[in-house]
Amino acid sequence: MRRGHEEAEESASKKTNQTEFTIAILSAQRFILTVILGCGLVFGKPAHAEEPPPGAFGAGAVVEEAPREAEGDAAADEGESETEPADTEAAPEAADRSRGASDEAEETEHAEPTERAEPTERAEPTERAEPTEQAREAEEPSSDDFGSERPNEGAPIPQTSPPTILSSTPAPWPHAELPAPQRVLVHIDASGRVMHVHPSADADTPEFAMASAALRAWRFNPARVLGTAVESRVHVEVHFVHSEAPEPTRSQTAPDVTPEDDFGAGAAVDLEEARNESRGPSDFELDEELRLAPSRDAADMLGRAPGLYIDRPVGGAVGHRIMLRGFDAEHGQDIAVSVEGASLNQRSHIHGQGYLDLSFLIPEVISSIRVTEGITDPEQGDFAVAGSADFRLGSAHRGMRLAGSYGSFNTGRLAAVWAPEGAHEDSFAALQLSRTDGFGQNRSGAHGSFIGQVGFGEHSAGYRHRILAVAHASRYSSAGVLREEDILEGRVGFYDVYDDTSARAQSGSANKILLRYSAERRGESSTRFGITLGYDRFRLQQNFTGYVERSREMPDWRGRGDLNEQRNGTFSVAADARYRSAPFGAGALRGTYELGFSGRLDLIEQGASLIQAPQNEIWDERVDASIQQTDIGAYVDFDLSFSDKLFVRGGVRADLLHFDIDDRIGNFVPNFRRETILPGHRRSAIGVAVGPRLTVEAVPHENARIHFAYGEGFRSPQARTLEDAETTPFTRVRNVELGVALQTVAPSWGDKPVFELSAAGHFTQLSDDVAFEAAEASVTRIGPTRRIGLTSRLTVRPLEGLLGTLSFTYVDATLLEPPPASAEEPNPAFSEGARLPYIAPWTLRADVGYRRAITDIAGEELSLRAGFGYLFLSDRPLPFNQQTPAVHRMDASIGATWSRFDLTLSVQNLLDSQYASFAYSFASHWDDGTRSRRPANHITAAAPRSIELRLEISL
Amino acid sequence: MRHWIAICAFVTLTGCALETGADELALPVIAGGSEARETLILESADGWSLDIEEARVAFGALYLCASEMAGDFCEVARGEMLETIVIDGLAAPEEVATLFVESADVRSLMFDLGIRHELRETDPVTLSPLPEGASVLLRGNASREDRVEPFEFAFRIEPLQAGTTTVRRSMETHTPAATDQLLVELNLANLVREMRFSPYLEAGTLEDTQTLRALRLAIMAQRAIEISWNEPSQE
C-alpha cells in the first residue's frame, strides 16, 4: 500500500555525487531576466545503471521544455554539441536510469548522439551530472539551459540555489493497483508554494488529476538567486498511495531527513525568476499576511503593509483614502498602485490627482501584493512618491468556489471563482456582488465586479500570453462629514447624516472597464510587453460645507446647498515593454540590465457643478474641461553583484509629460465686470522629470542585510493648474533610506524563517506638496515638505500554523515653507514648521493568525483557525492647528475548514470603538443659526463593530 | 539595543520639538460707552443740544479677519463672537461675551447690528433684543434755544445682501494674546456729530430723513462703534 513512498525513500537514499539540473531564472511578476545557471547539485540520483523501481523519485527527471524553447537557437549551438564524445558515452547509462521514471525515457533512448547537446562544458567534472537523454535534450541550444554558449561560460554564479522540497504528500489513489508515479512540471513561487501544475499529455487522466491535487499541498524552499527567493519550475514525481491510508506529510514523519533527500534524484530545475524585485527592507511582499486577520476587501489586505492606513470615508463608490509613511496619499496621489502591471492611478482626476478605487478587486483572487515604500526602483513612475503597490492576481485553488456572506447592517455578498483545473494559477474568472444598508444613515449601496484572466502559452516555449478583463460598477449613498461640535452637543448622531436635503443627496457612482494584454518571454534574456485599455467614469455628489456657496454665474443664486457634483470620465490607452538582458560580467562582478519603456495617453472629460437637491438642478458651473495627457517614460535598471556580499541595484528613469487643456469656462468674467472676452482657457504644457534610483545591499552575515537607498521620483500636476507653456512643475521627491534586515536562516514550519526583522530610517523631501482642501473637495498647494521617520516590521513563525507580524512607523512630517498669506488667502491653514495635516506620526499594526488541523471527520480533515488584528494611529494634526484623537481598532476572526466547506466568523472593530475614519478642519454652515466662520473639526465616521459570517464551498 | 533606543528617542524628541501652531484663545469682550455717565449732553450738526437718556446698540455677530479687508476675503475668520450683545452707550464697559480667536495677526473685522442675513435665509433675521428688533435705540431730549423736543430713535441696519455682514472695516494689525480683551465702545459723540436733528422734526418721522442717514453713516463708517484691543498694562 505504501510501496511508492517507501521506494521513493529508498531511491532517495542512493544519491550520488553526480546529477545535474538546469536552471533558468525566470521572473514571475516582472519581466525578465533569464539567467541560466549551472549548478551541479546532486540529490539522490542512483549511481548504478539499474532501472529504478517504479515510483522512485526523479531519476531522469529533467527538463523537457528547454528544447522546445530553444528551437530558435538550436542551429547556433548544434556544432558545439557534437564535439563532446565523453558526454555522449555517458548517454546510454543515463538513458537507462531514466527509463523507469520518465514517460519520455523511451523516446530519448532513440535520440541520435549527434543531435545531443553538449551538456556539461561549463560544469566542473566532479559536479557534472551524468546526463540522461532528456538531459541532453534539455541542453540542446536553449535560452533556458546551460547548454547555450554565453560570455560567462564556466564560471559559477554566486548564490544560486534550486528549490528543495520541505513537505510532500503522496497522491491518494482509490483503486487497488497503484499507478506509476506521475512526473509533472510544477511552477513554484517565491514563497515556495506551487503556483501551477503544467498540464502534460496525460493531463486529462485521473492520475494527473490526483497528482495535481496532491501537489497543491507540497511546500518548497524556493529557489534563490543572489540570495533572493525567486520563482522556478521543477520536475517532480508524485507517487501514489492507497487513499484508505494516506501517507502523512514528510514534515510530520521524518523531520530529521533533509528535504533534499526527499526531493529525489534528478530533480531538474528550470529556474526562471530573474529580476531581483526586492529593493531593501522597505520592500514588502504580502502574501500569507493577507489572510491573517479578517479582510473584507482589497483595501484591508493593502492595510497590512507597514505604516499604511486605508479607509473609505466618503462611501462605497469613492476610492479609498490612503496614508503611507507620513504621506496623506489622498485617493492615490502619493502611491502608485497597479494590478498585474496595469496602473490604476488616474491622471488629473477631478477628485484628486492619481485617484484610484480598489473596490473592483475581488479578494478571493488576490494572491499577493508587493508594496515598495519609498523610491528605490526605476520601474516606479508617476505617483510613486510615498511608494507603490502592485496587486497580483491568481487562484491557487482550482475548480469552482462559491462564497456567500451576510452580516451587520444587512450586508450581503456573493462571490464566485472559477479556476479551470489543469490551467495555470493565473487563469480564472471571478465575480462578486455586494450590497448593504450601511452602518448609520445614508450609506446604502451596492457594487459588483468581474475579473477574468486567462493565460496561454508557455514561457519556456516562446511567449506566455495573458489577458485580463475587469468590469466594475458601484453606487453608494454617503453620509459625508459632520461637525464634531454637532455630535458632542447631540444635534446629530455619530453615524447619522444631517437632516438636510442636500446632505442626504450625497452619493457616489463609478464604472470601470479595464482590458490588458501582456506577453512574456523568459529565457536567458527575457522580454515582456503589454497593452492596457481603460475606461473609468466617476460621479460624486458631496457637500462638505453646508450652505456657504454663492453662484459665480448668477450671484443672486445662493444658499441652495453646497452639493458639489464632480464628474470625471477617462479613456486611457497604455503600452509598456521591458527587456532584461542575459547575465554579463566575469569574476566577482556580474549582473544584468533592464530597459523599460512605457507610454500612456489619457483622454479626460471632467466637470464640477453646484446642484440643488433633490431635483439636482444645476445652479453653478465650476469646471468644464477636456484634458489630453501623455506620459512617455523610459528607464534603465542594473542589477549588479560585486561579490556574494555586495549588491548594487538601480538606474535612472525619465518621463516626459505633455498636457493639452481645454478649460471651457476658464477666464471667467464675473457679472459685475464688463464682458470683453468669451469664456474659455485653452493651453498646453510639457515637462521632463529625470530621477536616479539606487539600492546598495551588503550582506555582512548570513542573518543580516544592510541596505542604503536613494531615489528621486515625481508626481505630475493636475493639468488644470498649469499655465500655457509652463515648464511642467513636477513635484520632485527625494528619498533616502538606511535599513537593516535580520532573519534566522533555518526555515520554520513554512518555507520562511522563524524570525524576520527589518527596520529602515527614511528621509523624504518634496519640492511642492499638496494637502486636501475641504471647501473645494480637492487639494491645494502647501509648499515644500519633509518627512523623517523610522519603519520597522517583525515577523515570527514560532509554531507550525502560527504567524505573527508587528509593524510600527514613526514619521515626523513637517511643512517647510507654506505659501504666505495673500489677499485671496489671508488666513492660510498652514504655517511654517507645522506638522503636516491628517498624518498620524505613529502607526502600529499587529496581526496574528493560527491554523491547526484538529481531527478527521468522515475521512476529511477538520482544521480551525483564528486571526486577530490591531491598529493604532496616534493623534492626527489637522489644518488650523486642530487635531483628532488617536485610533485603536481590533479585528478578529475564527474559522473552520472541512472537506469542501469553509466557514468564517469575523468581527471588525471588535471593541466597537467610535472613531473618525478621517477628520478635517474647515469652516462650514449646516444649521439655521448664525454662521460660524471659524475652522471646525469635521469627521467622517469609521464603521462600528460589524459581524460577518461567511461560507465558502468548493465544488 | 542602545542604538535603537537612541534612534527612537531622537525621532520622538525631534517630532515634539517641531510641533508648532497658533493657540486658540477665549478672550473677554468688554462693551459699554466711551463716556459713561447717567446722561450725556451732546450737540448735533445743526446746533441742537441732545440730552441722551438711553443709547443702546445691538452688536454681533462679530468676525475678526486675517485679511486687510474683511468681507469676501474673510470666508475663514481668525476669531468670532456669534451672539448678539447690546452696547449701552451710557454704561461703563463691562464683560458681556467671549471672543474665540486664534493667536495670529488680525487686520480687519466685520459685524452685524443685531440683524443677520445668511445665504439661505429669504429675509433678514432679527436677533436684536431691543424694542422692535432695532439695531440702534437712542432716546432723550433735544433742545435749541427755548425749544425742547423729546425724541426716540429706533432703527434697523441690515446687511446689504444675503451672505454679507453689515459693517466691515480694517483695524491696526494685532496678534491677540491670552491676556487681551476686546473693547467695544459706543461713542455717542461720533454718533451724533454729523447728524442734523431738524430734518427729523420737519418730517415728523425718522424714515427717509437726513437724520437717519447720518446716524446710519455714523454707525457704519464713522466709528460710532469703536473696537480696540485692550492690552494689559506692562506693569
Contacts of A812 in chain B (CB under 8 A): 11, 14-15, 18
pLDDT of residue A525: 86
Range in A159-163, A445-449, B21-25, B139-143 the model is least confident about: A159-163
Range in A242-246, A319-323, A395-399, A591-595 the model is least confident about: A242-246
Contacts of A560 in chain B (CB under 8 A): 120
Q: Is the per-residue pLDDT at A531 higher than 80?
A: yes
Contacts of B104 in chain A (CB under 8 A): 827
**Residue in this structure with the C-alpha cell 492647528, named with its chain if needed:** A881
Distance CA A261, CA A253 (A): 14
Say yes or no: A947 and A873 in one domain.
Answer: yes
Q: Is the per-residue pLDDT at A9 higher than 80?
A: no
Looking at the complex, report in whole angstroms how far the Cα of residue B115 sits from the nearest Cα belonging to chain A: 10
Say yes or no: A329 and A195 in one domain.
Answer: no
Closest CB to A933 among B80, B127, B162: B80
Say yes or no: A200 and A345 in one domain.
Answer: no
Looking at the complex, report in whole angstroms how far the Cα of residue B172 sits from the nearest Cα belonging to chain A: 15
Q: Is the per-residue pLDDT at A58 higher than 60?
A: no
**Dihedral sign for Cα atoms in the order A12, A17, A20, A26:** positive
- How far from chain centre, in Å, is Cα A42? 35
Nearest to residue B88, comparing CAs of B128, B41, B32?
Answer: B32
pLDDT of residue A23: 29
pLDDT of residue A121: 35
Q: Considering only residues 780 to 819 of chain A, which have any Cβ-Cβ distance to chain B shorter than 8 Å?
A: 788-790, 810, 812, 814
Q: Do B163 and A559 touch (CB under 8 A)?
A: yes
A880 SS3 class? helix
pLDDT of residue A200: 61
Closest CB to B76 among A559, A827, A930: A827
Give mean pLDDT, residues A410-430. 94
| CA nearest to B63 within chain A | A933
Q: Is the per-residue pLDDT at A86 higher than 60?
A: no
Which has more confidence, A584 or A12? A584
Lookup: cell for B214: 447720518
Say yes or no: A214 and A331 in one domain.
Answer: no
B154 CB contacts (<8 Å, ≥6 apart)?
B130, B131, B132, B134, B136, B137, B138
Closest CB to B75 among A560, A812, A933: A933
Which has more confidence, A149 or A890? A890
Most confident of A200-204, A214-218, A250-254, A488-492: A488-492
User: What pLDDT band is residue A5 in, cutting at 50, 70 and 90?
Assistant: very low
Say yes or no: A310 and A216 in one domain.
Answer: no
Q: Do B18 and A814 touch (CB under 8 A)?
A: yes
**Residue A287 domain-assigned?**
no
Range in A60-74, A434-448, A654-668 the model is least confident about: A60-74
If one counts the domains in chain A, the total is 2
Say yes or no: A825 and A887 in one domain.
Answer: yes
Give mean pLDDT, residues A479-505. 96
> Which ipTM score applies to this complex?
0.88
pLDDT of residue A214: 81
- How far from chain centre, in Å, is Cα B40? 21
Give mean pLDDT, residues A677-706. 93
Q: Tell me if chain B has a CB within 8 Å of the CB of A833.
A: yes
pLDDT of residue B190: 92
CA–CA distance from A36 to each of A152, A584, A590, A591, A642 (Å)? 10, 11, 13, 12, 19
Q: Tell me if chain B has a CB within 8 Å of the CB of A834.
A: yes
pLDDT digits 0-9 by tens, B74-130: 989 999 999 999 999 999 999 999 999 999 899 999 999 999 999 999 999 999 999
Say yes or no: A304 and A263 in one domain.
Answer: no
Range in A41-45, A339-343, A717-721, B193-197 the model is least confident about: A41-45
**Residue A252 domain-assigned?**
no
Q: Is the per-residue pLDDT at A667 higher than 50?
A: yes
- Give me the percent of chain A exceeding a pLDDT of 90: 53
Q: Is the per-residue pLDDT at A594 higher than 70?
A: yes
Give mean pLDDT, residues A142-148. 34
By DSSP bridging, strand B94-102 and strand B79-81 are antiparallel
| CA nearest to A561 within chain B | B120
Contacts of A762 in chain B (CB under 8 A): none
Q: Do B76 and A831 touch (CB under 8 A)?
A: no
In terms of residue numbers, what domain contains A609?
Answer: 298-954
Contacts of B11 in chain A (CB under 8 A): 788-790, 810, 812
pLDDT of residue A746: 65
Distance CA A842, CA A410 (A): 34
User: What pLDDT band is residue A10 in, cutting at 50, 70 and 90?
Assistant: very low
Contacts of B74 in chain A (CB under 8 A): 826-827, 933
Range in A237-251, A811-825, B24-38 the model is least confident about: A237-251
pLDDT of residue A768: 86
**Residue A199 domain-assigned?**
yes
| CA nearest to B14 within chain A | A812
CB burial of residue A420 (10 Å; 0-12, 13-18, 19+): middle
pLDDT digits 0-9 by tens, B181-223: 999 999 999 999 999 999 999 999 999 999 999 999 999 987 8
Q: Tell me if chain B has a CB within 8 Å of the CB of A930.
A: yes
Contacts of A934 in chain B (CB under 8 A): 76-77, 79-80, 100
Q: Is the per-residue pLDDT at B59 higher than 70?
A: yes
Contacts of A834 in chain B (CB under 8 A): 19-21
Q: Tell me if chain B has a CB within 8 Å of the CB of A490.
A: no
Q: Tell me if chain B has a CB within 8 Å of the CB of A835.
A: yes
User: What pLDDT band is residue B67 in, cutting at 50, 70 and 90?
Assistant: confident
Which has more confidence, A717 or A138? A717
**DSSP class per residue in B166-231:** SEEEEEEEE---TT-EEEEEE-HHHHHHT--SHHHHHHSSSTT-HHHHHHHHHHHTS-SEEEEEEP
pLDDT digits 0-9 by tens, A905-924: 999 999 999 999 998 889 99
Q: Do A930 and B102 touch (CB under 8 A)?
A: no
Q: Do A933 and B76 touch (CB under 8 A)?
A: yes
Say yes or no: A838 and A923 in one domain.
Answer: yes
Q: Are A779 and A771 in contact (CB under 8 A)?
A: yes
Say yes or no: A176 and A33 in one domain.
Answer: yes
| CA nearest to B110 within chain A | A933
Say yes or no: A264 and A317 in one domain.
Answer: no
Query: For chain B, which residues lie within 8 Å of any Cβ of chain A, measuring from their own Cβ?
Result: 4, 7-8, 11-12, 14-15, 18-24, 61, 63, 65-69, 73-80, 82-83, 100, 102, 104, 107, 116, 118-121, 127, 162-163
pLDDT of residue B14: 39
Mean pLDDT of chain A: 79
Looking at the complex, report in whole angstroms how far the Cα of residue A481 sits from the nearest Cα belonging to chain B: 18
Give mean pLDDT, residues B145-163. 94
Best residue of A742, A812, A816, A827 to probe chain B, by most B CBs closer than 10 Å: A827
Q: Is the per-residue pLDDT at B73 higher than 80?
A: yes
A362 SS3 class? coil
User: What pLDDT band is residue A792 in, cutting at 50, 70 and 90?
Assistant: very high
pLDDT digits 0-9 by tens, A844-868: 999 999 999 999 999 999 999 999 9
Q: Is the per-residue pLDDT at A82 higher than 70?
A: no
Which has more confidence, A621 or A555? A621
Contacts of A931 in chain B (CB under 8 A): 61, 118-119
- Give me the percent of chain A exceeding a pLDDT of 70: 75
pLDDT of residue A252: 35
Give mean pLDDT, residues A866-888. 89
Which has more confidence, A150 or A225? A225
Q: Do B76 and A833 touch (CB under 8 A)?
A: no
Q: Is the per-residue pLDDT at A77 higher than 50?
A: no
pLDDT digits 0-9 by tens, A118-144: 333 333 333 333 333 443 443 333 333
Give the start-to-end residue ranges of the domains of chain B: 20-230
Q: Is the per-residue pLDDT at A155 higher than 90?
A: no
pLDDT digits 0-9 by tens, A173-218: 777 778 877 778 787 876 677 777 766 656 667 777 788 778 877 8
pLDDT of residue A258: 35
**Residue A807 domain-assigned?**
yes
Q: Is the per-residue pLDDT at A769 higher than 90?
A: no
Q: Tell me if chain B has a CB within 8 Å of the CB of A560.
A: yes
Distance CA A923, CA B29 (A): 23
Q: Is the per-residue pLDDT at A538 higher than 90?
A: yes
Nearest to residue A423, comparing CAs of A449, A463, A453?
Answer: A453
Which has more confidence, A464 or A271? A464
**DSSP class per residue in A637-689:** EEEEEEETTEEEEEEEEEEEEEEEEEETT-S---TTSPP-S-S-EEEEEEEEE
Q: Tell me if chain B has a CB within 8 Å of the CB of A883.
A: no
Q: What is the CATH number of the domain that holds A421?
A: 2.40.170.20
